[in-house]
Amino acid sequence: AQKVTQAQTEISVVEKEDVTLDCVYETRDTTYYLFWYKQPPSGELVFLIRRNSFDEQNEISGRYSWNFQKSTSSFNFTITASQVVDSAVYFCALSEALWNFNKFYFGSGTKLNVKP
């Protein structure tokens, strides 16, 4: 079974629109971490956010915001007023161990196309 599901394969929006990327995860651990990474066309994964399982506060960083809902096992990512530079593939990832550097379970990624 997929531990991290990103159901949206590809999304296209027009610049300045808001867009939400969905991420649903599955784990039996009580301690886990969730991540979002951005992969622009150049290929390098850029770290965006890390959220631990005990902190359900939503986070906002500029135009980016994240909504962590343990009740629905979701960790959604919203870009407000999207820009062309936001075009990339976005990956959600789950890590199930705090100190043991266990492997990341990556979602399949969502490709975001922001058109001018």
> Which string of x and - marks every residue 57-96 that binds other proteins (by CB under 8 A)?
----------------------------------x---x-
Give the DSSP letter string of 97-112: -SSS-PPEEE---EEE
- Span between the terminal Cα atoms of the chain, in Å: 38
Binding mask 3-42 for other proteins (x = CB under 8 A): ------------------------------x-x-x----x
Beta strands in 40-109 (DSSP E): 46-52, 59-61, 64-69, 74-79, 88-95, 104-106
Separation CA 23–CA 107 (nearest Å): 8
Binding residue count for other proteins, defined by CB under 8 A: 23
Residue in the block written with tokens 């009740």: 71
Q: Does residue 45 contact residue 39 with C-beta atoms inside 8 Å?
A: yes
Task: Rule CB under 8 A: choose which of 47, 57, 71, 85 binds other proteins.
Answer: 47
Contact between 107 and other proteins (CB under 8 A)?
yes
Nearest distance from C-beta of residue 20 to other proteins, angstroms:
20
Q: Which residues bind other proteins (CB under 8 A)?
A: 33, 35, 37, 42-47, 50, 91, 95, 97-99, 101, 103-104, 106-109, 111
